[in-house]
Structures are given as structure tokens and as C-alpha cells.
Amino acid sequence: MKLIDVTNSYATLVSKQLENTDARFVSVYSLGKTLVIHSTADTHIDVVLVNKTRDIKDLELNAVLEELLHTTVDNPELEIIRTHGCRLHRNGFIFLFYFECLSINDNRVNVT
């Protein structure tokens, strides 16, 4: 699996992330149909994986962890949060959006 840097295609997302969070660095990658957002702050690193059509595969998670954080899913200092889908009610209709978002917070980072 190969991460492709698509940061230039997400300029608005990157600028909003930099303006509204403590992030000092933000990059966006494509891993096939999975979007990966990587941000670094003074005290932590966040990595978010989003796929709007299916669950994040363990193979994808491991590839991202190895490539961006040089670690594995077994690292006890990682906080991994999984969320699934959402439901939107509008004008009497229910819209279901399926996605999985996987958020990884690496607190072991010492950014200089």
C-alpha cells in the first residue's frame, strides 16, 4: 500500500486545520479510497483515516502507522478511536452516510 500526498488538493482543509487547532503541520494523503489526514502539534500527533464506503482495514491502519509514525498498532502509547456512520434528518427524509473514521493520537511525540 502506498500513501500518495494529496495535500495541495485539500488547501482549504489544511488552512482551516492550521487556523483552528494547535497543529503546526498538516498533510493529507490518499490510500486508495481512504483519506489520511496527518497533523503535528507541539505535544502530539494526530492521524485520521476516513473511508466513506467501508470499514478501515487493519492492513491500511498498519501501513499508515508504519509509514507516518514508524510504529505498530500494539504500541500502548497510541490512542485509537473508531467511529462509524451518521444519520441526518432533513425535510422528513433520513439520509444515512456510511463511513468509518479512525483517529490515532500519538502522545509519545517530542516535537521540536
What is the domain-level CATH number for residue 70?
3.40.1720.10
The arithmetic mean of pLDDT across residues 44-66, rounded, is 86
The rounded distance, in Å, linking the Cα atoms of 80 and 102 is 7
Of the listed ranges 2-11, 22-31, 47-56, the one predicted with least confidence: 47-56
Q: Which residue has the higher pLDDT, 62 or 82?
A: 62
On whether the CB atoms of residues 42 and 18 are closer than 8 A, the answer is: no
Instruction: Tell me whether residue 112 is in a domain.
Output: no
Q: Which domain holds residue 102?
A: 4-106
Structural domains counted in the chain:
1
Instruction: Tell me whether residue 111 is in a domain.
Output: no
So what's the pLDDT on residue 54? 82
Average pLDDT, the chain: 79
Instruction: Tell me whether residue 59 is in a domain.
Output: yes
Instruction: Tell me whether residue 27 is in a domain.
Output: yes
Q: In 3D, which of 32, 66, 47 has the Cα closest to residue 107? A: 47
Instruction: Tell me whether residue 54 is in a domain.
Output: yes
Instruction: Tell me whether residue 39 is in a domain.
Output: yes
Q: Model's pTM, two decimal places?
A: 0.77
Q: Which residue has the higher pLDDT, 33 or 97?
A: 33
Taking CA atoms, 41 is separated from 2, 18, 73, 84, 108, in Å, by 24, 10, 21, 26, 12
